[in-house]
Amino acid sequence: MLGPPPYTLTAPTFAFRSLTSLAARAALGGPRETVLATLIAARLTAGAAPPTTLAPPLRVARADAARVWLSSVALPAQIRAAIGKLVDASAGNDERAILASLAKVTDVTAPVLTRGARSELDRLAAKFGG
């Protein structure tokens, strides 16, 4: 039996299926907004992860847009601060800062995250050596 032709592309995968699913199922208000903010921050951080790191100007523009969106979302202060630091870190090149910020977000959002969502954040951290 022949395999796929050598010129075919692999099917793209989405790294945050559990976070997205959790956001769809979460209760309106605080839990949903917390999960959505975590998802946005994780997606921004994935753009800074090797091997497909986005260009710095693009990461800065994405972080600026995310900060505007975050300002309109009702989040507890501790979660807002942690996610804000992760958004800021995702625009830079300091992998240790990204890893520390991601660990803090995982820690403060743990009460609302499922095991699958936490493992997605752990896999993202692994891309930065965590």
107-125 mean pLDDT? 96
> Does residue 11 have a pLDDT over 70?
yes
Give the model's confidence band at 1: pLDDT under 50 very low, under 70 low, under 90 confident, else very high. Answer: low
pLDDT tens digits for range 14-40: 899 999 999 999 988 889 999 999 999
Instruction: Give CA angle at 56 (67, 8), nearest 5°.
Output: 105
pLDDT (0 to 100) of residue 114: 96
Mean pLDDT of all residues belonging to the chain: 93
Cα(79)–Cα(84) distance, integer angstroms: 8
Per-residue buried b or exposed e for 83-104, using 16+ beta carbons within 10 Å of the residue's own CB: bbbbbbbbbeeebebbbbbbbb
pLDDT (0 to 100) of residue 3: 73
67-87 mean pLDDT? 95
pLDDT (0 to 100) of residue 124: 96
> Does residue 2 have a pLDDT over 80?
no
Neighbours of 19 (CB within 10 A): 25
Greater model confidence, 7 or 115: 115
What is the pTM for the complete model shown? 0.89
